Chains A and B, each alone.
Chain A
Amino acid sequence: MTTSESTPPPETGSTPPPATGAAPQGKARSLTWERRRTSVARFWRQYRSHRAGLYGLGALLLIAAIALAAPLLVGSDVQNVTGAPGKALESPSSRFPLGTDQYGRSLFGLLLYGARISLSVGLMAAALSVAIGTLIGILAGHFGGWFATVVMRITDWFLVMPALVLAIVLATVLSQSVWTVVLAIGVTSWPTTARLVRAQTLAVESRPYIERAQALGGGHGHIMARHVLPNVMPLVLAQTTLLISSAILTEATLAFLGLGDPNVVSWGGMLQEARETGAVSSGHWWYLAPPGLAIAVVALAFTLCGRAVESVLNPKLGTSR
């Protein structure tokens, strides 16, 4: 029966008349824009029905706003070790809502600043990882033959590498900086994406419209850019959102192991310092709890968004709601 197809037509069924009215002079470009606008609107309409995804998105927007506005909210010298405003390891008070660290800095201020590094490293590492994975996945899926065999062999071998250990090793042997962390996460997490994208590419390439495009005279570039890429993009988008949350967790882990950039404040780094200053044995939960909670909230928010995106764009994956 046609139950699965019964939802979209009523919405789009009403759109074509205005579209033809909007493009009477025969511009193919305006048609393209019209089409994009309606598909974004449709995406949003469907996304809105995923309550968890909306919560995730709301949380992300809030955290992103805080990260951007951190200097305005708590001043730009929060990270400064010299001339810190408080005494070492103060308990929460009205002046320091979360107390102070061993240098007397406001933990609340540090927490807000930590959002910046956590988000930016997460985004950059996920972007790097997804870019590598998508490129390799599409190329291996499209070209096949010995090329694919070699590439997928390499991917498999990266996949069996314990990613966290590899990231730790990279962060150990390279100089300590934010970029090292981004690189370490990026180059260890791409194989999953590559596998997924390759599988999707193979699925797309087995569809008859690829053969039709070949018969129309389309070359490799045409097929990869016009057919494969648009069809793997939903997967890639969902994968990116999910990868960001795992990248944020890995970043926190590396920082907790003392492998982060020592010059910036991050949530993982705060946890490490909390542990080293004996917050655990003295029961200073206010030092320990907030950064971890922040990590969990951001990671969860990205995961929820990713799952919502996934179920909107790829309803057959069975993760809906």
Chain B
Amino acid sequence: MTTAEAPATSPLLASRALHVTFPGRRGAPPAQAVDGVDLELAPGEIVALVGESGCGKTTLARTLLGLVRPTSGEVSFGGETLDYRARALKAYRKRVQLVLQDPSGSLNPRHTVYDAVAEGLRIHGHPGDERAAVAEALSRAGLRPPERFFLRYPHELSGGQRQRVVIAGALVLGPELIVADEPVASLDASVRGEILALLLKLRDELGLSALVVTHDLGLAWNIADRVAVMYLGRIVESGPVEDVLTHPQHPYTQALLSVLPEADGEPVVLSGEPPDPSRIPSGCRFHARCQVLASGRAEEAGVADKCRTEPLPVLPAHADGPQVACHWAAARRVPRPGGPQE
């Protein structure tokens, strides 16, 4: 498994104590979209970043891409801290690519497939044969024969084909990492698997790393090596997919998994809306919606006060096993000597 060898190599992408704050509108308090995130991505690794809308996962992805400047903390790529001067940023963007959710929106309706794929080459000044590079990227993305697609406009393609064009446009620059924001959320179910298979294939063939931002835990199960669950600007649980998704420790992850249609047992439906990043509760940020605290199990474990008052530390970026930011999970783990941590 890729995760096992990850600590040996240095991380490709890393963030340290990353914070992103957006000013509040009309006198509202500022929104802390990303509130302290340490994250690492090894070369060739696929990490899924999972959370509800408004949890800051998209902002985190944008920050890692250099599209948003962090309020504090830093992003580093290949061991070097990200430099926000125009020239350095442009060079960075040759190595890291973005794939967005809505393939019909991420292609300019007035550009042909050829133009869309060649755009990156033109921005960065491609010395070689542009046509050949475009053709190769298109066939890598599964659009064969590529020449047949050159003069098509996005509206003449199906959703799956459009997403392949977007992926080809990212591949053409020979990146090391792809950040994909909900890459299959707006695709038809039967097409979804094909696009995910393509991401896996690219990892196997090109050693491409990927950070996949999604609300879909099934997607993480389908392709990711590691998963990080985000809640209100923090990663609350992370680790290998098998561990986190089959033995979730954090009540939030447990709740997310329990409401999936196929899940066994009684679903834990959290009430209310996903909370507002401009009012992060004190103590554990999840405590107001936490089913463990509400049912009194946290009280039994003697951590209820801690849950309400004591903030949790930022989870370390990379470790062998699963990580969880929860007082209750920590308290439960202590009596068990054979636990994976501590």
Contact = CB atoms under 8 A, between A and B. Distances in A.
A touching B, CB within 8 angstroms: yes
Contact of A213 (B119, B147, B150): B119
Interface in B143-157: 147-153, 155-156
A215 B150 contact: no
A284 to B, nearest CB: 54
Interface stretch (A49-57, A149-157, A160-168, A222-230): A222-230
B64 to A, nearest CB: 11
B102 interface: yes
Interface stretch (B17-25, B105-113, B201-209): B105-113
A149 to B, nearest CB: 15
A12 B65 contact: no
Given A19-B151, A20-B150, A26-B131, A208 B119 contact: no
Nearest to A15: B151
B63 interface: no
B169 interface: yes
Given A28-B130, A217-B120, A218-B123, A208 B102 contact: yes
A212 B100 contact: yes
Nearest to B108: A209
Given A12-B153, A13-B156, A208 B105 contact: yes
B123 A16 contact: no
Nearest to B101: A208
A316 to B, nearest CB: 12
B67 A215 contact: yes
A76 interface: no
B232 interface: no
A230 B67 contact: no
Contacts of B89: 217
A216 to B, nearest CB: 4
A26 B128 CA distance: 12
Question: Size band of the B side of the interface?
Answer: 35 or more
B100 A208 contact: yes
B132 to A, nearest CB: 7
Nearest to A233: B110
Interface string A225-267: 0110011000000000000000000000000000000000000
A214 B67 contact: yes
Interface in A45-74: none
Interface stretch (B90-98, B257-265, B287-295, B331-339): B90-98
- Among A26, A34, A208, the most chain B Cβ lie within 10 Å of the Cβ of A208
Contacts of A209: 105-108
Contact of B123 (A19, A28, A217): A217
A31 B65 CA distance: 32
A216 B107 CA distance: 13
Contacts of B148: 16, 20
B129 interface: yes
A230 B116 CA distance: 14
Contacts of A28: 114, 118, 130-131
B14 interface: no
A35 B150 CA distance: 10
Contacts of A5: 155-156
- Among A26, A207, A209, A226, the most chain B Cβ lie within 10 Å of the Cβ of A209
A83 interface: no
Given A8-B156, A227-B108, A230-B110, A211 B67 contact: yes
A75 interface: no
Contact of B120 (A12, A38, A216, A219): A216
Nearest to A228: B108
A217 B124 contact: yes
B150 A226 contact: no
A318 interface: no
A222 B96 CA distance: 19
Contact of A231 (B96, B108, B124): B108
Contacts of A31: 112, 114, 131, 150-151
Given A20-B151, A207-B105, A216-B97, 7 more contacts: A8-B153, A20-B150, A31-B131, A208-B102, A215-B96, A219-B86, A226-B119
Shortest beta-carbon contacts, A-B, top 3: A215-B98, A217-B93, A208-B105
Interface of B: 65, 67, 86, 89-91, 93-94, 96-98, 100-102, 105-112, 114, 118-120, 123-124, 129-132, 147-153, 155-156, 166, 169, 173
